[in-house]
Each structure stands twice: as structure tokens, then as C-alpha cells.
Structure 1
Amino acid sequence: MPIGQKIPTWAAAPVTIAILALVSYQTLFAPYNIEGTKNDLPMAKTIPIPVNAPESLEFDPQGEGPYASVVDGRILKWRGDDLGWVEFAHTSPHRENCSSHKVVPACGRPLGLSFEKKTGDLYICDGYLGVMKVGPQGGLAELVVDQAEGRKVMFANQMDIDEEEDVFYFNDSSDKYHFREVFFVAANGERSGRVIRYDKKTKEAKVVMDNLRCNNGLALNKDRSFLISCESPTGLVHRYWIKGPKAGTRDIFSRVPGYPDNIRLSPSGDFWIGIHSKKSPLGRLVMANKWLGQLVEKTVNLELLVACLNGFRPHGMAVKISGETGEILEIIEDKKGKTMRYISEAYEREDGKIWFGSVFEPSVWVLDRK
């Protein structure tokens, strides 16, 4: 177009709208870029699963699996490419109206999974029912604990077992809300999350950390001297000392980018943390202002809230932190969400493979780093 020639009036409005939309997206919604990440996750193998949202993965004492907790209230077991996924267990006897795509509270919502090696029992954190247990043969799980210090466990999320002490620790992400309200719990500023210690011999459930904001993942360190638990809205990783001179105290162990989910101890003694999504300017604004988060809770539906938080650009990311210092050692991602999206867990095995779950997608992924 020659210099000085005017843009036709009919074209000015669409061009202006397009420019404003682009500026608005970059200003409010675009996920932050994180320096030093490795875009390795698009190379992972995708294993489709017939039910959405394999949120947590676990392997039994014989090394078989993974087992996956899915949205319809079941735990499925991977039997390899030939046999595929088979049903292993379920947390609720009510199976008639369960959906493979969305949560039905009566069906339960199994989340974090932990096998006890000496018994072969599988412990299950259910986001509606509490902490459950099922034997090595599977079937209907039984309730282990659903209250602590007189308060109902509303949102059991992830746990870890100290087999030497015969106790386990688990997150109750909120004593006011169930799983279906998880993103609203994160946004509205409530600090109703807690970490609970359960003694299997005495059957005593004791709160060891509270005043947490949607604490999601939990894991014990290699020598069982402390545990860590991460808050999804803030990215803070809290540490609770179990043994040693600091026993009974807590501190901040690390801070990770994005919105963290489950935590798994790696064979090296470090921790992998699944990241649901990177943060965006709008997400940071909502999470930092309680009044805005409460307004969002009342006016925005769940699907739109999730889309806004991930910048309308679903992707996948996992962070590895030092098991000694909490320092970030590595960040791997799928920047464009080509293969992985909405990662809930990264589980590294002795063979060098890392298995990934998702809070929404109907897939499990495995990345062979060797």
C-alpha cells in the first residue's frame, strides 16, 4: 500500500479488533515462558485409556502396572499392549450411573495411589470418601479413615506410607470442599487444607500441618525424616520434619513454577512434581486476590476457569527438585501440548522411564530417557 494511502473504513474495525484481541491475550492470558526448560515431552509414547483423567499412577510390589485412578471411580491396571487396561478395583459400590468423562460423586473419585509393599494392599485417596484400602486381588475398597480430630476428611488427595513406623500421611486438600470444587478451592483463597498422620496400630488420625491452601501432592523423602506437600495456587512446597532435631516443625522447602499437582520420590532421592499448567497474568491475578477468586467462584463455570488458568493453551510440564535442598534441578515440558496436556503426576522408575498421568486427558504417557 503506497505511503499516505488510507485504510478503507470498512477494514479499520476488524483490524482494530484483531489488534486489541492480540494485545489482550498477551497481556492477560498467555502463559509465562519459563527459562531453561527442555521440550522433551512431545517424544513420549501415548497410551490411550478408556476413561478420562488417570490422575495418579502406581506399581505393585511385583513391579506390575501401572495402576491408574480414573474419573469413574475405578482403578485400572495396564497389562501391556496385548491385554490393555483391565479393571482392578473401585471405591464405591454405586456403579450404575458412573460416567467415563465426568465426576459423579456417588461413584467416588480415586486420586492418589500407594501400594504397601509388605502386604500388597493398595491405599487410595478418594476425593469424596476418604482414604480407602483394597487387597492384592482388587475389588471393592474398604474405608480406612474419613475424619481427623473431629473434622470430616472431605478431600483426600495424595498419601505416602512409612512402612517401618506403620503409619501413613495424607493430604486433606480442604475440610470444606470435595474434589469437584478443586479449582474453586484454589481460586477462592481458602486455607482449609491439612496434612494428616494416621497410625495403623492405634487408628489415630492426627493433623500435623494445617492452614494450607489446596495442598495437592505429598511425598516422604528417602530416609523418611520429612515429608513435603505442595500448594497448587501458590506453588509453595511445604516441609514437615518427622525425625531429627527439627521434628514437629515446618518450613518452606521449595517454590515451583506453575500449578503443581502430585509429587513422587525418584530413585535418586529427588522429587518429581507434575504441573497442571504454567501460570498466566490472569491466573496470577486471581490467585493473589481473595476477593477476585471468590467472585470467580460465584460467576465462572469450571470449564471456562480451567481454560483461563492455562491461557486457552493446554500444555504439559513436570519439575524435578532436589531431595536435599529443594532446588529446581530440571524442568521438562510439552510447550505446545502436542502430546501431553494437564499433567498431574510424573513417576520415575528404576529403568529410567517416567510415567505421566493427567487430570483431564484420556491418556497415560511414558518417556524413555535412556
Structure 2
Amino acid sequence: MPTKDQKVSTWFFVPAVLAVLSIISYRIILVPGDVEGSKNILAAAKTIPVPVVGPESIEFDPQGEGPYAAVVDGRILKWRGDDLGWVDFAYTSPHRGNCSRNDVVPSCGRPLGLTFEKKTGDLYICDGYLGLMKVGPKGGLAELLVDEVEGRKIMFANQGDMDEEEDAFYFNDSSDKYHFRDVFMEGVSMDPSGRVIRYDKKTREAKVVMDNLRCNNGLALNKDRSFLITCESGTSLVHRYWIKGPKAGTRDIFSKVPGYPDNIRLTPTGDFWIGIHCKRSLLGRFIVKNQWFGKLVEKTVKMEYVIAFLNGFKPHGVAVKISGETGEVLEVLEDKEGKTMKYVSEVYERDDGKLWFGSVYWPAIWVFDRK
């Protein structure tokens, strides 16, 4: 028979062991791993609060003014400096009555990728509910350009880029099943319905140039406009599609990044910055490799919990720069603890070397001066 002291010891010992095992399991399964060679310096960035959640994409106009930010309530805001702050510039839907500054309301639209055309000053907008849109230099209500391609509705226009020499705009339609609000469900389901679309500005015709992509998120053209790259959030793969030259019309794998990628921006020197929502964890890798588990998660777990699991319950900031020639990872910048940056969706490098960061779920943008 165990003594009274032995029983008391057991009552203390068992919970302690369970607690230790829980911590170990949490760190092994949910906490994203370290990235070799990364620089944990982004916590030093300057924060610019935004009065609305989710400045997912940022852009500067041909005169260098801005940034402009696409936010969750369907508006595009313009930054006028510390004295004037944010002002309204444009919006994608005329239905403004019930729009929320914190959550998506589908009737209000959800502008995502922003691209200014330099020669006209027009702003091209990928709306995650409405399709590809455009608004003039004075802003206001955007006009719809295309919401259906080759008999399929554009469900999730995400990010695009302009080839001004060819008068063509390339953009992602990330899914034919989900809109923006369920983006992470698309990521875990691994459904290969994403596509890249080419919109001809002269003829106003659109056609699919890439398909069978799994939640393709960011998109950017390279410096000489000979190819474009697009990244899949779930697989972390960066695909390349050749637009010009002897390989025109073909595709290949250009790179793989250490995390779940979002938007892509070309740098002034011809490389690419990719915003990383979060680094990969063991659970995330398991979901990607086992589609049946992703389907189960899709059907049984709320999206906010999926986001929390993938972030290890600790939102953080990551940016990756890859070579514009080889796809090699050149640099990884982090705010590992999420002290300043959370849910990074885009990294925009300006000619002065400053990096501007957007966030898909946080009411702020950030500026990091590398000098």
C-alpha cells in the first residue's frame, strides 16, 4: 500500500510531468523553427498606425507620394505624413453602409494588391471579392475591369503587376472556391485551382497563362519583364512563368522560401522582397504533406484557430529577399518575438533603401531604415 506521503508526491509529480510534456510538445509541434542566417532586426522599425485593420498592400504613386494602403473595409487610404495622417483616396464598392474597420464585409469588397501605372497614374486594384479594378489618379469609386475569365468567375484576385511596354496586367486568382476571408482554409486544403491571368489593356481581353496553382498569393514581374514569379502560400514554392524569349510560355520552380509567403515586390536593383506571414512549424509541414489532414482541418477548425496554430500563437514578422536572377535566398530579416511587426504581408523597398511593410491582419504599417 502506498503511504500518504507517496500519494501526495504522485499528485505533485504527475501534473508536473504533464506540464513539461505539454511545453515540449508545444515547442516541437507548433513553434516555428529558426531560419539559419536570419537577422533579428525588424523590431527596430518605426510603426505608423492605420485606423483600419489590414493594410495588406502598399504602393507609391508616380510622383512618389504615399504610401497608399489597401484596408479591410474596402478603401484605399493615402498617407499624407505625420501632420495630416491618413486620408481617403478610393474604394472598390459603392456599398459603404455596413462596412467594418475590423472584419471583412463581402459587399464592401476587400482590396488587396495595388499597382500604379506610371504613364497614366491609374491605380490597378486586385479585390479579393470583386475582381480586377482600376481607379484614376484622382481616386474615388473604382471601375470593374474583369471578374470572369474563360468561363470561370474570378473568386480571389490577389496581387498583380504591370508590363507597361506590352500594355498588359498580370494578376493572381488564388482560388475558385474561397474568397479572401477564408484564405488560410485555401492554404491548408491545397486545392490546385489557382491561376495567373493576363489582362490586355488595349483589347480588354483576359486569358489564363498559368493554372494548377495552390493558393498562389504574390506576383511580380522581373526587371526586364521577361518573366513573372508567383508564390504558393501552402507549399512555399515560387513558380516562374516565362513571358518573353526562347522559353516563352513555359514554367519552372524558381525558388523556395522559409515560411508562408504573401506579396512579392521587385527591388530597385532587380531582386525580389517577399512578405512572409509566418515561419513554418512541424504542424504546418504535416498539413502540407498530408492533404487528407488539411481537408479535415478545413472542415472542422475555425480559421482564426488555423491562423493561431500556424503562427505558434505568437504572430511575428519575417521578410525574405531572393535573387532576381537565380531565386537564391539572399537575406532573411525578422522580428522573431513580434514586438513590433505582426502578420507581414508585403515588403516594399524604395530607392532610398527604406523598407516599408504591410500587414494583412494588423492596423499598422512599418518603415525600416537600413542606414
TM-score (norm 1): 0.97
SS of 2:25 mapped into structure 1: helix
- State the match for 1:41 in structure 2: 42
- Aligned-residue Cα RMSD (Å) equals 1.0
Matches within 5 A, 1:109-128: 109-128=110-129
Matches within 5 A, 1:16-27: 16-27=17-28
- State the match for 2:230 in structure 1: 229
Q: CA deviation at 1:23?
A: 1.8
- State the match for 1:202 in structure 2: 203
Matches within 5 A, 1:1-370: 8-370=9-371
1:161-193: CA deviation from partner (whole Å, max 9, x where unpaired): 011110110000012221111100110120000
Q: CA deviation at 1:13?
A: 3.0
Q: Distance in 2 between matches of 1:211 and 1:8?
A: 59
SS of 1:331 mapped into structure 2: strand
Aligned residues: 366
Q: CA deviation at 1:203?
A: 1.3
Q: Distance in 1 between matches of 2:35 and 2:200?
A: 41
Q: Distance in 1 between matches of 2:172 and 2:266?
A: 16
1:73-104: CA deviation from partner (whole Å, max 9, x where unpaired): 00000000000001101000011111101101
Q: Distance in 2 between matches of 1:353 and 1:269?
A: 16
Amino acid at match of 1:195: V
Q: CA deviation at 1:27?
A: 2.3
Q: Distance in 1 between matches of 2:364 and 2:162?
A: 27
Q: CA deviation at 1:283?
A: 1.1
Q: Distance in 1 between matches of 2:32 and 2:256?
A: 18
Q: Which stretch of the first structure deviates more once superposed, 168-177 or 66-75?
A: 168-177
1:284-343: CA deviation from partner (whole Å, max 9, x where unpaired): 111221111111011100111000011111111010000000001000000110000110
Q: Distance in 1 between matches of 2:238 and 2:14?
A: 48
Amino acid at match of 1:260: P
Q: CA deviation at 1:30?
A: 1.2
Q: CA deviation at 1:149?
A: 1.1
Q: Which stretch of the first structure deviates more once superposed, 147-156 or 224-233?
A: 147-156
Q: Distance in 1 between matches of 2:336 and 2:180?
A: 27
Amino acid at match of 1:90: Y
Q: What is the percent sequence identity of the aligned residues? A: 74
1:240-279: CA deviation from partner (whole Å, max 9, x where unpaired): 0001000010000101010000000000100000000001
Q: CA deviation at 1:17?
A: 2.1
Amino acid at match of 2:345: S
Q: Distance in 1 between matches of 2:38 and 2:25?
A: 26
SS of 1:291 mapped into structure 2: helix
SS of 2:321 mapped into structure 1: strand
Q: CA deviation at 1:40?
A: 1.3
Q: Distance in 1 between matches of 2:190 and 2:177?
A: 13
Q: Distance in 2 between matches of 1:276 and 1:24?
A: 23
Q: Distance in 2 between matches of 1:36 and 1:139?
A: 45
TM-score (norm 2): 0.97
Q: CA deviation at 1:70?
A: 0.3
Q: Which runs of 5+ in 2 are unaligned?
A: none
Runs of 4+ that moved beyond 2 A: 5-10
Q: Distance in 2 between matches of 1:84 and 1:17?
A: 51
Q: CA deviation at 1:10?
A: 3.1
